[in-house]
């Protein structure tokens, strides 16, 4: 299966379990990958035969900068659902949400959740 990837997207959101996270907000980074057939786009050189990368970015931005959620897992799930609804040619998506500065004592680079979702037959 062919893939389009948009990695290293950076947003500011108000997601978290603790009050200071939903009040002050924090950075979230997102990596996104979609699976679809890109053969027609490759042969025709026509954007209409592919999925616009800007639309993938914008739908991700709307979710991350939108309504607060407690869990990064829920944020990843919501992004995946919106991505799959974006275009019927998207058969699957992998979403990685990275929380660089969670309120956890200790030394680490970041915490992250990665999920993989496929299009349901009824979509």
Q: How many secondary structure helices (H) and strands (E) does the chain include?
A: 4, 4
DSSP annotation of 101: S
For the chain, the domains span: 2-118
- Catalytic residue (choose from 43, 96, 99, 118): 99
Taking the whole predicted model, whether its pTM rises above 0.75 is answered as yes
Show pLDDT as tens, one digit a residue, over the chain (123 residues).
999 999 999 999 999 998 888 999 999 999 999 999 999 999 999 999 999 999 999 999 999 999 999 999 999 999 999 999 999 999 999 999 999 988 888 888 889 999 999 998 655
Q: Which fold has domain 2-118?
A: GTP Cyclohydrolase I, domain 2 (3.30.1130)
| 99 catalytically annotated | yes
Q: Distance (Å, rounded) from C-alpha 11 to C-alpha 17? A: 18
* DSSP code at position 121: T
């Amino acid at each position: 299966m062919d893939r389009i990837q948009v990695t290293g997207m950076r947003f500011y959101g108000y997601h978290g379990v603790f009050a200071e996270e939903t009040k002050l907000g924090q950075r979230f980074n997102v990596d996104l990958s979609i699976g679809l057939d890109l053969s027609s786009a490759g042969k025709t050189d026509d954007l209409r035969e592919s999925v616009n990368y800007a639309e993938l970015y914008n739908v991700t931005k709307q979710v991350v900068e939108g309504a607060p959620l407690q869990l990064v897992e829920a944020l990843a799930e919501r992004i995946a659902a919106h991505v799959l609804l974006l275009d019927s040619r998207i058969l699957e998506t992998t979403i990685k949400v990275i929380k660089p500065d969670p309120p956890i004592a200790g030394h680490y680079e970041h915490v992250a959740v990665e999920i993989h979702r496929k299009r349901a037959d009824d979509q």
